[in-house]
Structure formats: C-alpha cells, structure tokens
Homo-oligomer: A and B are copies of this chain.
C-alpha cells in the first residue's frame, strides 16, 4: 500500500504542523520501528482527558461527578477515537510493520484510536495547550452536540420542584422513615409525599440527600411516565 502525501491528511486534521516530524511519529505504529507513537499516545491520552473533563465541567454545571464521568466515558473511548480517526481517513497514512500491514492493522480500531491519541499529543507538543484545546473542541464538536441536554442533568429534586411549580402543584415533602447500619455505613430510607398525588414515593441511599434524590426521581418518572435518565 503506497501512502498518499501527508498534505491531504494535514488539511483534514486542520492543524498545520510546525514540526512535521511530530506528525510522522504519531503515525508510526510500534510494529514499524523503535521511534513510534507510544509516547505521544501516553501524552495525548492525558491531554484529551483533561480538555474533555474541563469542557464537560463547564457545560454541565449541575451534573454530579458520576454523571460527568459517564459523559466523559461516552466521548473518550476507543470506539469514539477510532470513529474520529476514520473520519480523517487516518488508516491509509499509518506506518505499520509488515506483519500488521498484511493483517489489515490500518483498519483495526485499537490501532486507529492509539494513533488518534498520538496525533493529539503531537498537536499539543507542536503548538501548545491553547491551540490543542481549541483544535480538539472543534474536532469533538459534533460529539458534544450528541450528548444529553444539560437541563436533563439537573438533580432530580430540582427537576421535580420545577415540574410541580410549572403545574401549580404543591411542593414535595421529604421524610426519613428509617436509618439502618452503623456510623459511616448507614442506609437512609425516605418518602417523598406530594399533596394531591395518591401515594408517597420511596427512595433509599447512603445519605439522606441521595435517598431524597432517588425518591424525587421515582416521583418524576411516575408523574411524567418517562424512563430513568441515563447519561
């Protein structure tokens, strides 16, 4: 397989490298030589994770840590990176050893994802943090747009309150019905009662707050007939 000139890849990547050797290194699989893309992949992985985490933190001011982690995992994973690499047609530019070439390594998701991380590392080394951040956020723009509406990630108690206020209904009342377990391993059972709604909703958790959130979520689901939100 003859490799097309790198210019066409550089155009698609959208970053004109000051040091083209960095791009070459990012495209070199370990099967092709001792100077390969593994170190750049190490660097790119951590740049990527930080930039995406930071962006999610600001885009979702009401998301919990658990929700942020799930959102990040949906953006930063091998399949997503391979998808982005395929959109750049990266496979045909890779430098692979003869074994990998024969076995079609340029199509393999893990090799594409690793090279994509290495390119992120290379852009960072080439042009610094601000440049790599702007470039990456643009690259990920369509994937950010596919994420759930930040509004959906308001915590359930807030959403329940807004839902009820919007319908001029009474506000919910939360009550702890039972606490079991010892000191730092407690379990709270609560009910959420809404005047005018037949039965109370239950929730439990390792803190009063978590139990209340679960009860509120159950109330919301029952009132709206929707499924649990899963980011």
Q: How far is the CA of A176 from the CA of B100 in the complex (A)?
A: 19
Within residues 46 to 105 of chain A, which ones have a CB less than 8 A from any CB in chain B? Answer: 46-47, 49-50, 53-54, 57, 63-65, 68-69, 97, 99-100, 102-103, 105
Contact in complex: B39, A102 (CB < 8 Å):
no
Contact in complex: B54, A207 (CB < 8 Å):
no
Contact in complex: B53, A183 (CB < 8 Å):
no
Q: Which of B31, B43, B99, B105 contacts A53 (CB 8 A)?
A: B43
Min distance, Cβ A114 to any Cβ of chain B, angstroms = 10
Min distance, Cβ A183 to any Cβ of chain B, angstroms = 4
Given known contacts A31-B207, A49-B49, A49-B50, A99 and B186 CB-to-CB distance under 8 angstroms: yes
Q: How far is the CA of A31 from the CA of B206 in the complex (A)?
A: 9
Indicate if A30 sits at the interface (CB-CB under 8 A): yes
Contact in complex: B64, A39 (CB < 8 Å):
yes
Q: Which of B42, B54, B64, B155 contacts A46 (CB 8 A)?
A: B54
* A residues neighboring B (CB under 8 Å): 30-31, 33-34, 38-39, 41-43, 45-47, 49-50, 53-54, 57, 63-65, 68-69, 97, 99-100, 102-103, 105, 129, 155, 183-184, 186, 207, 209
Pull 8 A–B residue pairs with CB atoms less than 8 Å apart, ordered by A.
Answer: A33-B209, A38-B65, A43-B53, A43-B54, A43-B57, A46-B50, A99-B183, A103-B183
